[in-house]
Structure formats: structure tokens, C-alpha cells
DNA sequence: AGCTAAGCGGACCGGGTGGTCAGGTTATGC
DNA sequence: GCATAACCTGACCACCCGGTCCGCTTAGCT
């Protein structure tokens, strides 16, 4: 790959990551190209399809979450981190809601489910809770708080608290204790 | 209003209600007109804008939920009913996710929040829970289960159970409180 | 320096959208 | 039955989208 192509590709990926984070996967290719300072045709030289570009961006986000699942100690910590990421990245919300059907993305979600499962195995949760449940419920918590994202950006923490009290089977802290 | 116009309007509203329920608010006006057996121009004779049509349909759905909140005894029953409605009506999901900005719809949501508040007042919930929280959390529960809507259509019941255990402060069957 | 292929840009294409309008049709009051 | 206004229609418009393509530029090897 030629040196200038590498530079161009980086500009493209940076712009796409930024715009997808702000506006979700519906951001137009033209807009991304403009932000990257390149032509629209160039976008399709690097990625055959818009979906492929989305998959490249979202794949990194999912990898980051998998890392978090493996490095963070507790299920609770992981969920706090995960919902936080959902809250500041709309593209992640799009994959969570199933509107991104790219195979790479689905594989990434599968890896995330498995990583979450490992956390569940180590945690004391209600009977029958799976890693997949945890991942889905994180998106639910975020979606609930999303309409007030601007007015109350920290609302999801409260909602995640409600859920965790119903989900975790902690012998220590009583479920309904404040914060 | 002329008699034939009344009939036409009904056909339009029926078709729109059906299609919005199945496919959400993104269903095209052309599609609605076709299903109703009328011309596209006729749609705009009855509703100045597509948003107005959506608001008319969604307004009825919200009224139904307000009725449910007033007629159902318990908060739990209401939430089961509400999430069930979300599960079988995509237009309702769209208003829940905030993608419908019509003032009539916002007013409807506000009425729903108030009705939910009355249920909360009568229920034993965790401190500080509001009717608005309840409405938002219903959408969250649904959104969490939505990606598996086809594979496991009843999944939301399980997730709603988790949430209710964290939300309700039932003196009788304390969920996990080993106190 | 010069050759060549890789890289780039933006006009262009087909398809789909919400919305408009001139002109034909029909219900309804008289 | 007739006049007329309300009503309906579908061709049409402007706009936006993802994706293509060809002519121009330029990096990099020799």
C-alpha cells in the first residue's frame, strides 16, 4: 500500500469513528468524506460498501468492550463501563439495536457475549442469567435513559442500579440501599 | 366533511395503523396509500405532513396506555401490559426512542408519565422512582429483548421480572434481600 | 528523470423519499 | 337535474442516498 493511501485511510477512519460516534450509522458517506477531507469515491476505494466501513469502526468498539470484560474484575464494573460506552457512542447503540447486520459485527457481538458469560460465571447472579442477557440488558438500560441523554446524562447509572439489584444475588449489600 | 371523505379517511387510518405497527414510522407514505387503496395525494389531503399522520396513530396508542394505567390496579400489571404493547407495535417503539418529535405525541407521553406517576404513588417502590422512570424503563426492557423478538418473543417478561425486583419494594416477597 | 500503476476526486446514475398540483370525478344542497 | 365545491388521483418535483467510473495526479522504483 502506498504511503499516501495509508494516510488517507487513517483520515477516513478517524472521521468515520468520530461521526458514527456522534450520529450513529445513518451518517452519510458524503458527510464522512467531507470531514475526512477526501472525495466520496475514495471512501469506496478503501471500503467496498458503507456497511464494511461501519463494521471496521464498530469492530474496534466491540473489541474494546471485550477487553474491558476481561480486564475488569466484576460484572457490575463491566456493566457500568459498557453502558457508559453506549452512552457516548451512537454507533454502538445501532449495533446493539440490531440494525447493523454485517457478519464481522455479529461475530464481535458473539465474542462479547462469551466474555460477558465468563463474568457471569464468576459472579453471584440470579439463576439462569447468561452473558447474552447481560449484554442485551446493558443496551436496554441505555435505551431507557437515552431520551434524556442531554437533560440528565447520568440517568443511566440510576437505572443500571435498579437492574443490578434485580440481577445480582449479592449476599452483602441489601438490594434497595441507596447508591 | 363529505361522506366519501369520511370513508377514505378511515381506510387511511386503518392502513397506517397496521403498517406503522408492523414496520414503525419509517414506512413510506406511498406504501400506506397503496395498502389503503387510495392515491398518495389523498394522504396529504387528510394530513398536511407525514408526521401529522404518525401523531394521529401514535396518539391513539398512547391514549390506550393511559387508559390501561388508570384501569389496571397495580404498577406491575401496567408495566406488563405496556411492554407487551411495545413488543407488538413498532411505532410505539419509535416514539419511545424519541424519534417522533411531534408536539401532540410529546403531550401524549406527558399524560402517560402522569398516569404512571399515579400508579407509582399507590405502589411500594424504591425511593425516588417517578412515573417518567417507569415509562422509560418499560421501553428499556423492550429494547433489550427486541433483537431476539423473533427467536424468543417472550424474553421481555423475564427481563421485566429482573427490573421489577430491583424496582419494587414489596414487603412480602423480598427478591434477593437476605437482609 | 521518467515510467507506471496505485490513488484520488467528483460528476454521474438509479432508486427512493416527502410533498405538490392541475385536472378529472363525485357527493350534495337547491 | 344541475351547479358547485369538496374530493381524489398519479404524474411530477426537488432532494438525498449508496455506489460507479473515468480522467487526472502522484508516489515510488529503476
Which pLDDT belongs to residue B179? 34
Give the CA distances from residue B149 to residues A42, A135, A158, B27, B159, in Å, rounded to whole numbers and listed in that order.
38, 15, 26, 19, 13
The full set of domains in chain B, from first to last, is: 1-48 (1.10.10.60), 56-179 (1.10.357)
Cβ within 8 Å, pair B165-A175? yes
CB distance A93 to A53 below 8 Å? no
pLDDT tens column, B154-168: 999 999 999 999 999
Which chain B residue has the Cα nearest residue A99?
Answer: B147
A interface with B, Cβ–Cβ below 8 Å = 96-98, 126, 133, 136-137, 139-148, 158-159, 161-171, 174-176, 178
Which residue among B97, B126, B161 places its CB closest to the CB of A143?
Answer: B97
Q: What is the mean pLDDT of residues B42-70?
A: 98
Answer yes or no: is pLDDT of B28 > 80: yes
Q: What is the mean pLDDT of residues B31-41?
A: 98
pLDDT tens column, A145-168: 999 999 999 999 999 999 999 999
CB distance A130 to A120 below 8 Å? yes
User: What is d(CA A104, CA A48) in angstroms, rounded to the nearest whole number?
Assistant: 14
Which pLDDT belongs to residue A170? 62
Which pLDDT belongs to residue A150? 95
The reply to whether the CB atom of residue B30 sits less than 7 A from any atom in nucleic acid chain C is: yes
Q: What is the mean pLDDT of residues B107-118?
A: 98
pTM score, two decimals?
A: 0.93
B interface with A, Cβ–Cβ below 8 Å = 96-98, 126-127, 133, 136-137, 139-148, 158-159, 161-167, 169, 174-179
H/E stretch holding B75: helix B75-87
pLDDT tens column, A46-104: 999 999 999 999 999 999 999 999 998 899 999 999 999 999 999 999 999 999 999 99
Q: Classify B100 as helix, strand or coil.
A: coil
Q: What is the mean pLDDT of residues B89-112?
A: 97
CB distance A159 to B137 below 8 Å? yes
The reply to whether the CB atom of residue B28 sits less than 7 A from any atom in nucleic acid chain D is: no
What one-character DSSP code corresponds to residue B148?
Answer: G
Amino acid at each position: 500500500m502506498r504511503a499516501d493511501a495509508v494516510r488517507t485511510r487513517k483520515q477516513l477512519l478517524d472521521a468515520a469513528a468520530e461521526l458514527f460516534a456522534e450520529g450513529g450509522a445513518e451518517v452519510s458517506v458524503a458527510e464522512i468524506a467531507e470531514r475526512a477531507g477526501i472525495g466520496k469515491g475514495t471512501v469506496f476505494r478503501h471500503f467496498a460498501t458503507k456497511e464494511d466501513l461501519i463494521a471496521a469502526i464498530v469492530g474496534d468498539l466491540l473489541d474494546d468492550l471485550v477487553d474491558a470484560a476481561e480486564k475488569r474484575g466484576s460484572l457490575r464494573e463491566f456493566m457500568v463501563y459498557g453502558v457508559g460506552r453506549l452512552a457516548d457512542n451512537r454507533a454502538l447503540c445501532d449495533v446493539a439495536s440490531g440494525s447493523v447486520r454485517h457478519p464481522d459485527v455479529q461475530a464481535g457481538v458473539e465474542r462479547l457475549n462469551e466474555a460477558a458469560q465468563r463474568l457471569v460465571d464468576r459472579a453471584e447472579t440470579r439463576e439462569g442469567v447468561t452473558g447474552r442477557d447481560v449484554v442485551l440488558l446493558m443496551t436496554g438500560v441505555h435505551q431507557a435513559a437515552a431520551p434524556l441523554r442531554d437533560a440528565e446524562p447520568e440517568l443511566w447509572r440510576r437505572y443500571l442500579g435498579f437492574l443490578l439489584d434485580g440481577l445480582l444475588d449479592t449476599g452483602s449489600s441489601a438490594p434497595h440501599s441507596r447508591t
